Amino acid sequence: MNLAQCPVDAHARVVALDAEQSMRLRMSELGLRVGAVVRVTQRAAFGGRVVAIGAQRFAVDGQTATRIAIEPVRAAHQGPRL
């Protein structure tokens, strides 16, 4: 699954970044690195997503979002699934 496929209000862990070194560095500066848990807060134009990492929020364009591999995680505040 990639970030572009992640639904709004879902939490996910970044498992891989398919990007050039300069882009990986920029994403890392924003906190978007392998192992980071993000929450999708909005859908943006053209398949992009607005993501939150802690209190920080930023937009990721659709093309970049497809290159960020994620795995779903359950948020700490969510109760058990029934």
Q: Say how many C-beta atoms besides its own lie within 10 A of residue 65's C-beta.
A: 22
pLDDT (0 to 100) of residue 82: 45
CATH code of 3-73, in short, is 2.30.30.90
Q: If we measure between CA atoms, which residue out of 4, 76, 6 comes closest to residue 45?
A: 4
- How far is Cα 54 from Cα 38, in angstroms, rounded to an integer? 8
Q: Where are the beta strands (DSSP E) in the chain?
A: 11-17, 37-43, 49-53, 56-60, 68-73
With a cut of 50, list the residues of the chain below it in pLDDT.
79-82
Q: If we measure between CA atoms, which residue out of 56, 12, 73, 35 comes closest to residue 65?
A: 12
Local structure of 56: helix, strand or coil = strand
Q: Is the pTM of this model over 0.75?
A: yes
Tokens of 9: 């209000």
pLDDT (0 to 100) of residue 47: 86
